[in-house]
Amino acid sequence: MIKVLFVCLGNICRSPTAHGVLERKLAMAGLANLVEVDSAGTAPWHIGKQPDLRSQQAARKRDYDLSHLRARQAIADDFFEFDYVLAMDNQNLENLQGIVPAGRADNSAELSRVKSQPELFLATFSSQGLTQVPDPYYGGDEGFEAVLDMVEDACDQLIMDIRKKL
Ligand code: 4NP
Protein backbone atom coordinates (compact mmCIF):
# COMPACT_ATOMS: atom_id res chain seq x y z
CA MET A 1 0.00 0.00 0.00
CA ILE A 2 1.30 3.44 -0.98
CA LYS A 3 0.04 6.30 1.17
CA VAL A 4 -0.31 9.93 0.08
CA LEU A 5 -1.02 12.88 2.39
CA PHE A 6 -1.93 16.32 1.02
CA VAL A 7 -1.43 19.25 3.38
CA CYS A 8 -2.61 22.86 3.28
CA LEU A 9 -3.37 25.39 6.01
CA GLY A 10 -7.01 24.80 6.97
CA ASN A 11 -7.68 21.41 5.31
CA ILE A 12 -10.96 22.76 3.95
CA CYS A 13 -10.00 24.07 0.46
CA ARG A 14 -6.81 22.97 -1.31
CA SER A 15 -5.82 19.68 0.33
CA PRO A 16 -9.34 18.18 0.36
CA THR A 17 -9.62 19.16 -3.31
CA ALA A 18 -6.41 17.26 -4.06
CA HIS A 19 -7.66 14.39 -1.87
CA GLY A 20 -10.92 14.04 -3.82
CA VAL A 21 -9.25 14.49 -7.22
CA LEU A 22 -6.58 11.86 -6.55
CA GLU A 23 -9.12 9.40 -5.11
CA ARG A 24 -11.24 9.58 -8.25
CA LYS A 25 -8.29 9.45 -10.65
CA LEU A 26 -6.95 6.39 -8.81
CA ALA A 27 -10.36 4.71 -9.01
CA MET A 28 -10.51 5.41 -12.76
CA ALA A 29 -6.99 3.99 -13.15
CA GLY A 30 -7.93 0.82 -11.22
CA LEU A 31 -5.46 1.69 -8.46
CA ALA A 32 -7.87 2.50 -5.62
CA ASN A 33 -7.00 -0.66 -3.70
CA LEU A 34 -3.26 -0.03 -3.88
CA VAL A 35 -3.06 3.61 -2.82
CA GLU A 36 -4.48 5.30 0.26
CA VAL A 37 -5.16 9.05 0.20
CA ASP A 38 -5.58 11.46 3.11
CA SER A 39 -5.37 15.20 3.74
CA ALA A 40 -4.65 17.47 6.69
CA GLY A 41 -4.10 21.08 7.66
CA THR A 42 -1.20 22.60 9.55
CA ALA A 43 -3.69 24.82 11.47
CA PRO A 44 -6.30 23.44 13.90
CA TRP A 45 -9.06 25.95 13.12
CA HIS A 46 -11.40 23.74 11.07
CA ILE A 47 -10.90 20.30 12.64
CA GLY A 48 -13.95 18.08 12.02
CA LYS A 49 -15.47 20.32 9.35
CA GLN A 50 -16.47 19.40 5.81
CA PRO A 51 -14.58 21.05 2.96
CA ASP A 52 -15.54 24.66 2.22
CA LEU A 53 -18.78 24.70 0.19
CA ARG A 54 -17.09 26.65 -2.59
CA SER A 55 -14.49 23.89 -2.94
CA GLN A 56 -17.20 21.23 -2.87
CA GLN A 57 -19.27 22.99 -5.53
CA ALA A 58 -16.34 23.65 -7.86
CA ALA A 59 -15.21 20.03 -7.48
CA ARG A 60 -18.71 18.63 -8.04
CA LYS A 61 -18.92 20.41 -11.39
CA ARG A 62 -15.98 18.26 -12.46
CA ASP A 63 -17.47 15.09 -10.90
CA TYR A 64 -15.35 15.01 -7.75
CA ASP A 65 -17.18 14.37 -4.47
CA LEU A 66 -15.58 15.95 -1.39
CA SER A 67 -18.56 15.59 0.97
CA HIS A 68 -17.15 12.59 2.90
CA LEU A 69 -13.98 14.44 3.91
CA ARG A 70 -13.43 15.97 7.38
CA ALA A 71 -10.63 18.30 8.40
CA ARG A 72 -7.85 17.17 10.70
CA GLN A 73 -4.50 18.60 11.71
CA ALA A 74 -1.18 17.19 10.48
CA ILE A 75 0.88 15.50 13.20
CA ALA A 76 4.46 14.27 13.55
CA ASP A 77 3.33 10.62 13.34
CA ASP A 78 2.13 11.27 9.78
CA PHE A 79 5.78 11.06 8.70
CA PHE A 80 5.92 7.46 9.95
CA GLU A 81 2.83 6.58 7.90
CA PHE A 82 2.89 8.35 4.56
CA ASP A 83 5.14 7.76 1.54
CA TYR A 84 4.34 11.21 0.17
CA VAL A 85 3.63 14.31 2.29
CA LEU A 86 2.73 17.00 -0.23
CA ALA A 87 2.41 20.66 0.82
CA MET A 88 0.37 23.17 -1.14
CA ASP A 89 2.53 26.24 -0.48
CA ASN A 90 5.76 27.39 1.13
CA GLN A 91 4.11 28.26 4.43
CA ASN A 92 2.60 24.76 4.75
CA LEU A 93 5.99 23.26 3.81
CA GLU A 94 7.75 25.27 6.52
CA ASN A 95 5.10 24.31 9.07
CA LEU A 96 5.58 20.63 8.19
CA GLN A 97 9.37 20.92 8.36
CA GLY A 98 8.81 22.15 11.90
CA ILE A 99 7.05 18.93 12.95
CA VAL A 100 9.00 16.23 11.04
CA PRO A 101 10.51 13.90 13.62
CA ALA A 102 14.15 14.93 13.47
CA GLY A 103 15.44 12.16 15.71
CA ARG A 104 17.17 12.93 18.97
CA ALA A 105 20.60 11.73 20.00
CA ASP A 106 18.93 9.31 22.40
CA ASN A 107 16.40 8.08 19.87
CA SER A 108 17.80 7.42 16.42
CA ALA A 109 15.23 4.60 16.04
CA GLU A 110 12.64 7.33 15.62
CA LEU A 111 14.52 8.82 12.67
CA SER A 112 14.76 5.46 10.94
CA ARG A 113 10.97 5.13 11.01
CA VAL A 114 10.44 8.38 9.06
CA LYS A 115 9.16 7.36 5.60
CA SER A 116 9.16 10.72 3.87
CA GLN A 117 10.15 14.35 4.00
CA PRO A 118 7.58 17.02 3.13
CA GLU A 119 7.78 18.44 -0.39
CA LEU A 120 5.92 21.03 -2.42
CA PHE A 121 3.25 19.17 -4.40
CA LEU A 122 3.54 21.32 -7.51
CA ALA A 123 7.31 21.80 -7.44
CA THR A 124 7.64 18.04 -7.69
CA PHE A 125 4.65 17.13 -9.85
CA SER A 126 3.35 20.09 -11.88
CA SER A 127 3.87 19.72 -15.63
CA GLN A 128 3.28 23.47 -15.90
CA GLY A 129 6.36 24.67 -14.01
CA LEU A 130 4.32 25.82 -11.03
CA THR A 131 5.48 25.55 -7.42
CA GLN A 132 2.60 26.61 -5.14
CA VAL A 133 -1.21 26.28 -5.06
CA PRO A 134 -2.45 29.76 -4.06
CA ASP A 135 -4.85 29.95 -1.10
CA PRO A 136 -8.36 30.56 -2.54
CA TYR A 137 -10.08 31.16 0.82
CA TYR A 138 -10.40 34.95 0.68
CA GLY A 139 -10.87 35.22 -3.09
CA GLY A 140 -13.53 34.58 -5.72
CA ASP A 141 -14.72 31.52 -7.61
CA GLU A 142 -11.88 31.71 -10.13
CA GLY A 143 -9.44 30.86 -7.35
CA PHE A 144 -11.23 27.57 -6.71
CA GLU A 145 -11.19 26.73 -10.43
CA ALA A 146 -7.46 27.51 -10.53
CA VAL A 147 -6.87 25.13 -7.60
CA LEU A 148 -8.65 22.37 -9.51
CA ASP A 149 -6.70 23.04 -12.72
CA MET A 150 -3.34 22.85 -10.93
CA VAL A 151 -4.26 19.88 -8.78
CA GLU A 152 -5.70 17.81 -11.66
CA ASP A 153 -2.50 18.23 -13.65
CA ALA A 154 -0.18 17.42 -10.75
CA CYS A 155 -2.28 14.38 -9.72
CA ASP A 156 -1.79 12.94 -13.21
CA GLN A 157 1.99 13.29 -12.80
CA LEU A 158 1.82 11.89 -9.26
CA ILE A 159 -0.03 8.79 -10.48
CA MET A 160 2.75 8.19 -13.01
CA ASP A 161 5.28 8.36 -10.16
CA ILE A 162 3.19 6.02 -7.99
CA ARG A 163 2.97 3.47 -10.84
CA LYS A 164 6.78 3.23 -10.83
CA LYS A 165 6.67 2.14 -7.18
CA LEU A 166 3.91 -0.46 -7.49
P1 4NP B 1 -6.89 25.89 2.80
O2 4NP B 1 -7.55 27.35 2.82
O3 4NP B 1 -5.57 26.00 3.54
O4 4NP B 1 -6.70 25.62 1.35
O5 4NP B 1 -7.87 24.98 3.48
C6 4NP B 1 -7.79 28.08 3.98
C7 4NP B 1 -8.88 27.78 4.77
C8 4NP B 1 -9.15 28.53 5.90
C9 4NP B 1 -8.33 29.59 6.21
C10 4NP B 1 -7.23 29.89 5.42
C11 4NP B 1 -6.96 29.13 4.30
N12 4NP B 1 -8.62 30.38 7.35
O13 4NP B 1 -7.98 31.43 7.54
O14 4NP B 1 -9.54 30.01 8.13
Residue spans of alpha helices (H) in the chain: 14-28, 53-61, 78-81, 90-97, 108-112, 121-125, 141-165
* pLDDT per residue as tens digits for the range 123-162: 999 999 999 999 999 999 999 999 999 999 999 999 999 9
Give 165 Cα–ligand 1 centroid separation in angstroms. Answer: 32
Q: Ligand 1 centre and the CA of 91: distance in Å?
A: 12
- Provide mean pLDDT across the span 20-46: 98
Contact 52, 12 (CB under 8 A): yes
Confirm or reject: Cβ of 37 under 6 Å from ligand 1. no
- Say yes or no: CB of residue 55 within 6 Å of ligand 1: no
Q: Which active-site residues does the annotation give?
A: 8, 14, 135
Where are the domains positioned within the chain? 2-165
Ligand 1 and 54: CB distance under 6 A: no
Please give the Cα distance from 8 to 133 (Å, whole number).
Answer: 9
Burial category of 26 from C-beta neighbours within 10 Å (exposed 0-12, middle 13-18, buried 19 and up): buried
Rounded to two decimals, the pTM is 0.97
Residue-wise pLDDT for 83-128, tens only, equals 999 999 999 999 999 999 986 667 778 888 999 999 999 999 999 9
Strand order across the beta sheet in which 2-8 lies: 35-41, 2-8, 84-87, 118-120
Does the domain at residues 2-165 carry the CATH identifier 1.10.10.10? Answer: no
User: What is Dmax (Cα atoms) for the chain?
Assistant: 52
